[in-house]
Chains A and B, each alone.
Chain A
Protein backbone atom coordinates (compact mmCIF):
# COMPACT_ATOMS: atom_id res chain seq x y z
CA UNK A 1 0.00 0.00 0.00
CA UNK A 2 1.99 3.03 -1.15
CA UNK A 3 0.25 6.26 -0.26
CA UNK A 4 1.57 9.79 -0.60
CA UNK A 5 4.41 8.72 -2.90
CA UNK A 6 4.60 12.21 -4.47
CA UNK A 7 5.03 13.91 -1.10
CA UNK A 8 8.83 14.13 -1.23
CA UNK A 9 8.79 15.57 -4.76
CA UNK A 10 6.12 18.09 -3.86
CA UNK A 11 8.01 19.37 -0.82
CA UNK A 12 11.20 19.61 -2.85
CA UNK A 13 9.39 21.64 -5.54
CA UNK A 14 7.86 23.91 -2.91
CA UNK A 15 11.23 25.06 -1.61
CA UNK A 16 13.17 25.40 -4.88
CA UNK A 17 13.23 27.77 -7.84
CA UNK A 18 10.24 27.65 -10.25
CA UNK A 19 10.77 25.76 -13.49
CA UNK A 20 9.18 28.48 -15.61
CA UNK A 21 10.83 31.69 -16.84
CA UNK A 22 9.28 35.11 -16.40
CA UNK A 23 8.55 35.95 -20.05
CA UNK A 24 8.34 38.84 -21.28
CA UNK A 25 10.95 40.10 -18.85
CA UNK A 26 13.31 37.21 -19.63
CA UNK A 27 13.76 35.97 -23.22
CA UNK A 28 13.50 32.25 -23.91
CA UNK A 29 16.96 30.87 -24.78
CA UNK A 30 17.39 29.87 -28.43
CA UNK A 31 19.82 27.44 -30.05
CA UNK A 32 21.90 28.02 -33.21
CA UNK A 33 19.75 25.59 -35.17
CA UNK A 34 16.42 27.14 -34.14
CA UNK A 35 14.23 28.10 -37.08
CA UNK A 36 13.26 31.63 -36.10
CA UNK A 37 12.82 33.75 -39.20
CA UNK A 38 14.16 34.11 -42.72
CA UNK A 39 16.43 37.04 -43.64
CA UNK A 40 17.37 38.24 -47.14
CA UNK A 41 20.72 39.73 -48.15
CA UNK A 42 20.17 41.15 -51.62
CA UNK A 43 23.76 42.01 -52.55
CA UNK A 44 24.25 39.05 -54.95
CA UNK A 45 20.62 38.47 -55.90
CA UNK A 46 19.91 37.90 -59.59
CA UNK A 47 16.07 37.85 -59.23
CA UNK A 48 15.64 34.36 -60.69
CA UNK A 49 12.39 33.88 -58.62
CA UNK A 50 13.32 30.33 -57.58
CA UNK A 51 12.49 31.22 -53.97
CA UNK A 52 9.01 32.29 -55.04
CA UNK A 53 8.45 29.01 -56.92
CA UNK A 54 9.62 26.76 -54.09
CA UNK A 55 7.75 28.48 -51.25
CA UNK A 56 4.87 26.13 -50.24
CA UNK A 57 2.66 28.92 -48.85
CA UNK A 58 3.37 31.57 -51.56
CA UNK A 59 4.71 34.03 -48.99
CA UNK A 60 7.53 35.48 -51.15
CA UNK A 61 6.89 37.94 -54.01
CA UNK A 62 9.69 38.91 -56.37
CA UNK A 63 9.48 42.10 -58.46
CA UNK A 64 12.25 41.91 -61.05
CA UNK A 65 11.78 45.35 -62.64
CA UNK A 66 11.71 47.33 -59.41
CA UNK A 67 14.36 45.02 -57.83
CA UNK A 68 12.29 44.44 -54.69
CA UNK A 69 11.44 41.27 -52.72
CA UNK A 70 8.63 41.17 -50.18
CA UNK A 71 7.82 38.38 -47.73
CA UNK A 72 4.63 38.04 -45.69
CA UNK A 73 5.75 37.12 -42.16
CA UNK A 74 2.37 35.68 -41.17
CA UNK A 75 2.31 33.25 -44.11
CA UNK A 76 5.89 32.09 -43.73
CA UNK A 77 6.13 28.70 -41.95
CA UNK A 78 9.97 28.84 -41.63
CA UNK A 79 10.38 25.56 -43.44
CA UNK A 80 13.64 26.61 -45.13
CA UNK A 81 12.76 25.58 -48.71
CA UNK A 82 13.84 28.99 -50.02
CA UNK A 83 17.17 28.73 -48.17
CA UNK A 84 17.90 25.44 -49.93
CA UNK A 85 16.73 26.69 -53.33
CA UNK A 86 18.61 30.00 -53.71
CA UNK A 87 21.53 29.53 -56.17
CA UNK A 88 23.49 32.56 -54.88
CA UNK A 89 22.97 31.78 -51.18
CA UNK A 90 21.33 35.13 -50.41
CA UNK A 91 18.78 33.81 -47.93
CA UNK A 92 19.63 32.84 -44.36
CA UNK A 93 17.67 31.18 -41.53
CA UNK A 94 18.26 33.11 -38.29
CA UNK A 95 17.35 32.26 -34.73
CA UNK A 96 15.55 35.53 -34.07
CA UNK A 97 11.81 34.97 -33.71
CA UNK A 98 9.27 37.17 -35.49
CA UNK A 99 7.68 40.02 -33.56
CA UNK A 100 3.90 39.72 -32.98
CA UNK A 101 1.62 41.33 -35.54
CA UNK A 102 -0.72 43.18 -33.13
CA UNK A 103 -3.94 42.69 -35.08
CA UNK A 104 -2.83 43.33 -38.67
CA UNK A 105 -4.06 40.65 -41.11
CA UNK A 106 -0.77 40.60 -43.03
CA UNK A 107 2.70 41.77 -42.20
CA UNK A 108 4.89 42.26 -45.26
CA UNK A 109 8.60 43.01 -45.02
CA UNK A 110 10.17 44.71 -48.05
CA UNK A 111 13.79 44.30 -49.16
CA UNK A 112 15.34 46.52 -51.86
CA UNK A 113 18.59 46.05 -53.71
CA UNK A 114 20.79 49.15 -53.71
CA UNK A 115 22.74 48.85 -56.93
Chain B
Protein backbone atom coordinates (compact mmCIF):
# COMPACT_ATOMS: atom_id res chain seq x y z
CA UNK B 1 0.00 0.00 0.00
CA UNK B 2 2.01 3.01 -1.19
CA UNK B 3 1.63 6.52 0.10
CA UNK B 4 -1.24 8.64 -1.17
CA UNK B 5 -0.88 12.32 -2.09
CA UNK B 6 -3.64 14.82 -2.79
CA UNK B 7 -3.11 17.25 -5.66
CA UNK B 8 -5.56 20.14 -6.16
CA UNK B 9 -6.33 20.46 -9.88
CA UNK B 10 -7.31 24.00 -9.23
CA UNK B 11 -9.64 26.53 -10.74
CA UNK B 12 -6.68 28.06 -12.58
CA UNK B 13 -4.93 25.74 -14.99
CA UNK B 14 -3.53 26.44 -18.46
CA UNK B 15 -5.51 23.66 -20.09
CA UNK B 16 -8.91 24.33 -18.54
CA UNK B 17 -11.19 26.64 -20.49
CA UNK B 18 -13.31 27.41 -17.39
CA UNK B 19 -12.77 27.12 -13.63
CA UNK B 20 -13.59 23.80 -11.98
CA UNK B 21 -11.87 22.40 -8.92
CA UNK B 22 -10.93 18.73 -8.56
CA UNK B 23 -9.04 17.12 -5.68
CA UNK B 24 -7.09 14.22 -7.15
CA UNK B 25 -5.94 11.46 -4.80
CA UNK B 26 -2.83 9.90 -6.30
CA UNK B 27 -0.87 6.74 -5.69
CA UNK B 28 2.40 6.98 -7.68
CA UNK B 29 1.09 8.67 -10.88
CA UNK B 30 -2.22 6.77 -10.89
CA UNK B 31 -5.39 8.62 -9.90
CA UNK B 32 -7.36 6.66 -7.34
CA UNK B 33 -10.20 9.08 -6.63
CA UNK B 34 -11.39 12.50 -7.81
CA UNK B 35 -13.60 14.82 -5.78
CA UNK B 36 -15.22 17.73 -7.67
CA UNK B 37 -16.13 21.05 -6.13
CA UNK B 38 -17.98 23.80 -8.03
CA UNK B 39 -19.28 27.28 -7.26
CA UNK B 40 -16.61 29.66 -8.53
CA UNK B 41 -18.78 31.55 -11.01
CA UNK B 42 -22.19 31.26 -9.47
CA UNK B 43 -24.02 34.36 -10.61
CA UNK B 44 -27.47 33.75 -9.15
CA UNK B 45 -29.22 33.86 -12.52
CA UNK B 46 -32.11 31.68 -11.34
CA UNK B 47 -32.99 34.27 -8.70
CA UNK B 48 -33.05 37.09 -11.29
CA UNK B 49 -36.32 35.70 -12.61
CA UNK B 50 -38.07 37.44 -9.74
CA UNK B 51 -36.78 40.86 -10.84
CA UNK B 52 -37.00 40.83 -14.65
CA UNK B 53 -40.31 40.17 -16.34
CA UNK B 54 -40.73 37.21 -18.63
CA UNK B 55 -40.04 39.15 -21.84
CA UNK B 56 -36.85 40.77 -20.59
CA UNK B 57 -35.48 37.52 -19.21
CA UNK B 58 -34.64 36.34 -22.76
CA UNK B 59 -31.62 38.65 -22.71
CA UNK B 60 -30.41 37.10 -19.43
CA UNK B 61 -31.06 33.51 -20.58
CA UNK B 62 -28.95 34.03 -23.69
CA UNK B 63 -26.02 35.19 -21.61
CA UNK B 64 -25.86 32.13 -19.34
CA UNK B 65 -23.20 30.67 -21.61
CA UNK B 66 -21.16 32.09 -24.43
CA UNK B 67 -20.74 29.01 -26.57
CA UNK B 68 -24.24 27.57 -26.51
CA UNK B 69 -26.01 30.91 -26.17
CA UNK B 70 -28.66 30.71 -28.91
CA UNK B 71 -30.05 27.37 -27.74
CA UNK B 72 -30.43 28.65 -24.16
CA UNK B 73 -32.52 31.57 -25.45
CA UNK B 74 -34.54 29.29 -27.70
CA UNK B 75 -35.33 26.78 -24.94
CA UNK B 76 -36.48 29.55 -22.61
CA UNK B 77 -38.75 30.95 -25.31
CA UNK B 78 -40.14 27.45 -25.97
CA UNK B 79 -40.93 26.94 -22.28
CA UNK B 80 -42.84 30.24 -21.99
CA UNK B 81 -44.60 29.70 -25.34
CA UNK B 82 -45.87 26.27 -24.26
CA UNK B 83 -47.22 27.68 -21.00
CA UNK B 84 -49.02 30.50 -22.81
CA UNK B 85 -50.14 28.20 -25.67
CA UNK B 86 -48.65 30.41 -28.40
CA UNK B 87 -48.27 28.94 -31.90
CA UNK B 88 -44.97 29.98 -33.42
CA UNK B 89 -45.19 30.44 -37.24
CA UNK B 90 -43.44 27.89 -39.46
CA UNK B 91 -40.86 30.26 -40.92
CA UNK B 92 -39.70 31.26 -37.44
CA UNK B 93 -39.32 27.60 -36.46
CA UNK B 94 -37.14 26.81 -39.48
CA UNK B 95 -35.02 29.92 -38.91
CA UNK B 96 -34.51 28.82 -35.29
CA UNK B 97 -33.22 25.45 -36.56
CA UNK B 98 -30.89 27.24 -39.00
CA UNK B 99 -29.29 29.24 -36.19
CA UNK B 100 -29.18 26.23 -33.84
CA UNK B 101 -27.23 24.17 -36.34
CA UNK B 102 -24.80 27.04 -37.00
CA UNK B 103 -24.34 27.28 -33.23
CA UNK B 104 -23.63 23.54 -33.09
CA UNK B 105 -21.01 23.77 -35.86
CA UNK B 106 -19.12 26.58 -34.14
CA UNK B 107 -19.24 24.84 -30.78
CA UNK B 108 -17.86 21.56 -32.16
CA UNK B 109 -15.10 23.35 -34.05
CA UNK B 110 -14.15 25.13 -30.82
CA UNK B 111 -14.06 21.82 -28.97
CA UNK B 112 -11.90 20.17 -31.65
CA UNK B 113 -9.40 22.99 -31.28
CA UNK B 114 -9.32 22.71 -27.48
CA UNK B 115 -8.87 18.95 -27.65
CA UNK B 116 -5.91 19.32 -29.98
CA UNK B 117 -4.46 21.87 -27.58
CA UNK B 118 -4.90 19.49 -24.62
CA UNK B 119 -2.58 16.90 -26.11
CA UNK B 120 -0.18 19.45 -27.54
CA UNK B 121 -1.01 19.59 -31.25
CA UNK B 122 -0.92 23.39 -31.57
CA UNK B 123 -1.11 23.73 -35.34
CA UNK B 124 -4.27 21.62 -35.54
CA UNK B 125 -5.80 23.85 -32.82
CA UNK B 126 -5.08 26.99 -34.84
CA UNK B 127 -6.39 25.45 -38.07
CA UNK B 128 -9.75 24.46 -36.47
CA UNK B 129 -10.25 27.92 -35.04
CA UNK B 130 -9.37 29.51 -38.36
CA UNK B 131 -12.32 27.70 -39.97
CA UNK B 132 -14.51 28.63 -37.00
CA UNK B 133 -13.84 32.34 -37.65
CA UNK B 134 -15.48 32.02 -41.07
CA UNK B 135 -18.61 30.53 -39.50
CA UNK B 136 -18.72 33.32 -36.93
CA UNK B 137 -18.71 35.77 -39.85
CA UNK B 138 -21.77 34.02 -41.31
CA UNK B 139 -23.52 34.29 -37.95
CA UNK B 140 -22.69 37.97 -37.69
CA UNK B 141 -24.01 38.60 -41.18
CA UNK B 142 -27.40 37.07 -40.42
CA UNK B 143 -28.08 37.92 -36.80
CA UNK B 144 -25.90 40.85 -35.78
CA UNK B 145 -23.54 39.43 -33.18
CA UNK B 146 -20.75 36.86 -33.33
CA UNK B 147 -21.41 35.01 -30.11
CA UNK B 148 -24.58 36.45 -28.53
CA UNK B 149 -27.12 36.25 -31.33
CA UNK B 150 -29.96 38.34 -29.86
CA UNK B 151 -32.40 37.01 -32.41
CA UNK B 152 -34.89 34.95 -30.40
CA UNK B 153 -37.94 36.30 -28.58
CA UNK B 154 -41.12 34.93 -27.05
CA UNK B 155 -43.41 34.48 -30.05
CA UNK B 156 -40.90 34.08 -32.87
CA UNK B 157 -37.60 35.51 -34.08
CA UNK B 158 -36.50 39.10 -34.46
CA UNK B 159 -34.60 39.08 -37.74
CA UNK B 160 -35.37 37.68 -41.14
CA UNK B 161 -33.00 36.01 -43.60
CA UNK B 162 -33.89 36.69 -47.25
CA UNK B 163 -33.64 33.88 -49.79
CA UNK B 164 -30.88 35.62 -51.75
CA UNK B 165 -28.80 35.87 -48.61
CA UNK B 166 -29.54 32.21 -47.85
CA UNK B 167 -28.25 31.09 -51.27
CA UNK B 168 -25.04 33.09 -50.81
CA UNK B 169 -24.54 31.46 -47.39
CA UNK B 170 -25.03 27.96 -48.82
CA UNK B 171 -22.38 28.66 -51.44
CA UNK B 172 -19.91 29.80 -48.79
CA UNK B 173 -20.57 26.73 -46.67
CA UNK B 174 -19.84 24.45 -49.62
CA UNK B 175 -16.43 26.09 -49.96
CA UNK B 176 -15.65 25.75 -46.26
CA UNK B 177 -16.70 22.11 -46.30
CA UNK B 178 -13.44 21.19 -48.05
CA UNK B 179 -11.42 22.72 -45.21
CA UNK B 180 -13.54 20.91 -42.64
CA UNK B 181 -12.90 17.58 -44.39
CA UNK B 182 -9.16 18.24 -44.28
CA UNK B 183 -9.10 19.03 -40.56
CA UNK B 184 -11.36 16.15 -39.59
CA UNK B 185 -9.33 13.64 -41.58
CA UNK B 186 -6.31 14.54 -39.42
CA UNK B 187 -8.38 13.77 -36.31
CA UNK B 188 -9.55 10.46 -37.70
CA UNK B 189 -6.37 9.05 -39.24
CA UNK B 190 -3.28 10.51 -37.63
CA UNK B 191 -1.48 7.94 -35.52
CA UNK B 192 -0.26 10.39 -32.85
CA UNK B 193 -3.86 11.46 -32.21
CA UNK B 194 -4.95 7.85 -31.95
CA UNK B 195 -2.22 7.01 -29.43
CA UNK B 196 -3.48 9.75 -27.10
CA UNK B 197 -7.19 9.03 -27.45
CA UNK B 198 -7.80 5.32 -28.07
CA UNK B 199 -8.51 3.26 -24.99
CA UNK B 200 -8.47 6.25 -22.64
CA UNK B 201 -11.46 6.88 -20.38
CA UNK B 202 -13.64 3.91 -21.29
CA UNK B 203 -17.28 3.95 -20.19
CA UNK B 204 -19.25 0.79 -20.89
CA UNK B 205 -22.81 0.95 -22.20
CA UNK B 206 -24.47 -0.11 -18.94
CA UNK B 207 -22.44 2.38 -16.90
CA UNK B 208 -23.28 5.28 -19.20
CA UNK B 209 -26.97 4.56 -18.65
CA UNK B 210 -26.74 4.42 -14.84
CA UNK B 211 -24.44 7.41 -14.53
CA UNK B 212 -26.98 9.65 -16.26
CA UNK B 213 -24.67 10.83 -19.03
CA UNK B 214 -26.11 12.89 -21.90
CA UNK B 215 -25.04 14.01 -25.34
CA UNK B 216 -21.92 12.72 -27.13
CA UNK B 217 -20.79 11.05 -23.87
CA UNK B 218 -23.90 8.82 -24.06
CA UNK B 219 -23.87 8.35 -27.83
CA UNK B 220 -20.17 7.43 -27.85
CA UNK B 221 -20.96 4.42 -25.68
CA UNK B 222 -23.54 2.97 -28.03
CA UNK B 223 -26.87 4.24 -26.68
CA UNK B 224 -29.06 5.90 -29.29
CA UNK B 225 -30.60 8.94 -27.65
CA UNK B 226 -30.94 12.36 -29.30
CA UNK B 227 -33.38 14.91 -27.95
CA UNK B 228 -33.88 16.38 -31.42
CA UNK B 229 -35.88 13.30 -32.32
CA UNK B 230 -38.84 14.30 -30.14
CA UNK B 231 -39.68 16.80 -32.83
CA UNK B 232 -39.63 20.23 -31.17
CA UNK B 233 -39.60 23.30 -33.42
CA UNK B 234 -40.30 21.32 -36.65
CA UNK B 235 -37.35 18.93 -36.27
CA UNK B 236 -39.86 16.18 -37.02
CA UNK B 237 -39.85 17.18 -40.71
CA UNK B 238 -36.10 16.68 -41.10
CA UNK B 239 -34.27 13.58 -42.20
CA UNK B 240 -31.48 12.59 -39.82
CA UNK B 241 -30.42 9.80 -37.45
CA UNK B 242 -28.52 10.05 -34.14
CA UNK B 243 -24.78 9.46 -34.56
CA UNK B 244 -23.59 6.46 -32.50
CA UNK B 245 -20.20 4.87 -31.88
CA UNK B 246 -19.69 1.62 -30.05
CA UNK B 247 -16.39 1.69 -28.16
CA UNK B 248 -16.97 4.18 -25.36
CA UNK B 249 -13.46 5.66 -25.21
CA UNK B 250 -12.30 9.22 -25.93
CA UNK B 251 -11.68 8.43 -29.59
CA UNK B 252 -15.34 7.45 -30.13
CA UNK B 253 -16.57 10.63 -28.44
CA UNK B 254 -14.29 12.63 -30.76
CA UNK B 255 -15.68 10.72 -33.76
CA UNK B 256 -19.27 11.42 -32.68
CA UNK B 257 -18.59 15.15 -32.69
CA UNK B 258 -16.78 15.10 -36.05
CA UNK B 259 -19.65 13.21 -37.67
CA UNK B 260 -22.20 15.56 -36.08
CA UNK B 261 -20.37 18.47 -37.73
CA UNK B 262 -21.02 16.98 -41.12
CA UNK B 263 -24.62 16.15 -40.16
CA UNK B 264 -25.24 19.79 -39.19
CA UNK B 265 -24.08 21.04 -42.60
CA UNK B 266 -26.54 18.63 -44.19
CA UNK B 267 -29.34 19.88 -41.92
CA UNK B 268 -28.64 23.49 -42.93
CA UNK B 269 -29.04 22.50 -46.58
CA UNK B 270 -32.37 20.85 -45.75
CA UNK B 271 -33.50 24.04 -43.95
CA UNK B 272 -32.85 26.20 -47.00
CA UNK B 273 -35.12 23.95 -49.01
CA UNK B 274 -37.96 24.10 -46.48
CA UNK B 275 -38.21 27.86 -45.91
CA UNK B 276 -41.50 29.30 -47.17
CA UNK B 277 -42.77 32.88 -47.06
CA UNK B 278 -44.73 33.94 -44.03
CA UNK B 279 -44.66 35.95 -40.80
CA UNK B 280 -41.74 35.59 -38.43
CA UNK B 281 -43.48 36.41 -35.15
CA UNK B 282 -46.87 36.49 -33.45
CA UNK B 283 -47.92 39.10 -30.85
CA UNK B 284 -48.03 37.79 -27.30
CA UNK B 285 -50.70 39.09 -24.92
CA UNK B 286 -51.36 38.39 -21.28
CA UNK B 287 -49.31 36.69 -18.61
CA UNK B 288 -48.22 33.04 -18.28
CA UNK B 289 -49.92 30.66 -15.86
CA UNK B 290 -48.80 27.03 -15.56
CA UNK B 291 -45.63 24.94 -15.70
CA UNK B 292 -43.64 23.04 -18.31
CA UNK B 293 -40.35 21.18 -18.78
CA UNK B 294 -38.75 22.26 -22.08
CA UNK B 295 -36.01 19.98 -23.47
CA UNK B 296 -33.64 20.65 -26.37
CA UNK B 297 -30.36 19.28 -27.66
CA UNK B 298 -27.37 21.52 -27.11
CA UNK B 299 -23.97 20.68 -28.61
CA UNK B 300 -23.04 19.18 -25.24
CA UNK B 301 -26.17 17.18 -24.54
CA UNK B 302 -29.70 17.58 -23.32
CA UNK B 303 -30.70 20.79 -21.54
CA UNK B 304 -33.90 21.13 -19.51
CA UNK B 305 -35.67 24.36 -18.56
CA UNK B 306 -38.36 24.06 -15.90
CA UNK B 307 -40.59 27.15 -15.76
CA UNK B 308 -43.45 27.73 -13.34
CA UNK B 309 -45.69 30.77 -13.53
CA UNK B 310 -48.70 31.93 -11.56
CA UNK B 311 -50.31 34.67 -13.62
CA UNK B 312 -48.14 37.69 -12.83
CA UNK B 313 -45.55 39.21 -15.12
CA UNK B 314 -42.65 37.61 -13.19
CA UNK B 315 -42.10 33.86 -13.37
CA UNK B 316 -42.24 32.11 -10.03
CA UNK B 317 -39.42 29.61 -10.58
CA UNK B 318 -37.02 28.87 -13.39
CA UNK B 319 -34.58 26.01 -13.13
CA UNK B 320 -31.92 25.12 -15.70
CA UNK B 321 -30.28 21.69 -15.73
CA UNK B 322 -27.36 21.85 -18.14
CA UNK B 323 -25.66 18.87 -19.81
CA UNK B 324 -22.28 19.38 -18.15
CA UNK B 325 -23.96 19.02 -14.74
CA UNK B 326 -25.31 15.64 -15.82
CA UNK B 327 -21.93 14.50 -17.15
CA UNK B 328 -19.99 15.15 -13.91
CA UNK B 329 -20.70 11.66 -12.41
CA UNK B 330 -19.38 10.14 -15.64
CA UNK B 331 -16.25 12.28 -15.31
CA UNK B 332 -15.68 11.14 -11.71
CA UNK B 333 -15.99 7.50 -12.77
CA UNK B 334 -13.65 7.97 -15.76
CA UNK B 335 -10.92 9.55 -13.65
CA UNK B 336 -10.61 6.53 -11.37
CA UNK B 337 -7.65 4.34 -12.40
CA UNK B 338 -6.34 6.73 -15.01
CA UNK B 339 -2.85 8.16 -15.12
CA UNK B 340 -2.07 11.76 -14.15
CA UNK B 341 -0.97 12.80 -17.63
CA UNK B 342 -4.36 11.85 -19.06
CA UNK B 343 -6.40 14.03 -16.68
CA UNK B 344 -6.61 17.11 -18.97
CA UNK B 345 -7.67 14.97 -21.94
CA UNK B 346 -10.38 13.27 -19.85
CA UNK B 347 -11.77 16.52 -18.50
CA UNK B 348 -12.00 17.98 -22.00
CA UNK B 349 -13.62 14.90 -23.47
CA UNK B 350 -16.94 15.60 -21.74
CA UNK B 351 -16.79 19.19 -23.11
CA UNK B 352 -17.03 21.12 -19.84
CA UNK B 353 -18.96 24.37 -19.94
CA UNK B 354 -18.76 25.40 -16.32
CA UNK B 355 -20.44 28.76 -16.73
CA UNK B 356 -23.58 26.88 -17.77
CA UNK B 357 -23.26 24.47 -14.87
CA UNK B 358 -23.41 27.11 -12.17
CA UNK B 359 -25.73 29.71 -13.44
| Contact residues, B95-148 vs A (CB, 8 A) | 121, 123-124, 127, 130, 133, 140-145
Q: With A6-B186, A56-B59, A80-B158 in contact, is A34–B191 under 8 Å at CB?
A: no
Complex interface: chain A residues within 8 A of B237 (CB): none
Contact yes or no, B140 A31, CB < 8 A? yes
Q: With A3-B192, A56-B52 in contact, is A33–B127 under 8 Å at CB?
A: no
Contact yes or no, B123 A10, CB < 8 A? yes
Complex interface: chain B residues within 8 A of A77 (CB): 59
Quick check: is B156 within 8 A (CB to CB) of the other chain? no
Provide the main secondary structure of the chain A interface: loop
Quick check: is B46 within 8 A (CB to CB) of the other chain? no
Contact yes or no, A34 B130, CB < 8 A? no
Select which of A5, A31, A56 is within 8 A of B141 by beta carbon. Answer: A31
Complex interface: chain A residues within 8 A of B145 (CB): 34-35, 78
Chain A: residues with Cβ within 8 Å of the partner, total of 21
| CA A18 to CA B300, docked complex, whole Å | 32
Contact yes or no, A5 B190, CB < 8 A? yes
| CA A65 to CA B112, docked complex, whole Å | 57
Contact yes or no, B144 A34, CB < 8 A? yes
Complex interface: chain A residues within 8 A of B52 (CB): 56
| CA A6 to CA B186, docked complex, whole Å | 7
Give the tally of cross-chain contacts (CB within 8 A): 54
Complex interface: chain B residues within 8 A of A99 (CB): none
Complex interface: chain A residues within 8 A of B143 (CB): 33
| Contact residues, A69-92 vs B (CB, 8 A) | 77-81, 84
Select which of B60, B150, B158, B189 is within 8 A of A5 by beta carbon. Answer: B189
Distance (whole angstroms) from the CB of B247 to the closest CB of chain A = 19
| CA A81 to CA B185, docked complex, whole Å | 44
Distance (whole angstroms) from the CB of A92 to the closest CB of chain B = 13
Contact yes or no, A33 B144, CB < 8 A? yes
Q: Which residues of B contact A (CB under 8 A)?
A: 52, 56, 59-60, 121, 123-124, 127, 130, 133, 140-145, 150, 158-159, 182, 185-186, 189-192
Q: Which 7 A-B pairs have the closest CB atoms?
A: A35-B144, A2-B189, A31-B141, A5-B190, A56-B56, A33-B144, A56-B59
Could you name 6 residue pairs across A and B whose Cβ atoms are closer than 8 Å? A19-B130, A35-B144, A35-B145, A56-B56, A56-B59, A79-B59
Q: Which residues of A contact B (CB under 8 A)?
A: 1-3, 5-6, 9-10, 13, 19, 31, 33-35, 56, 77-81, 84, 93
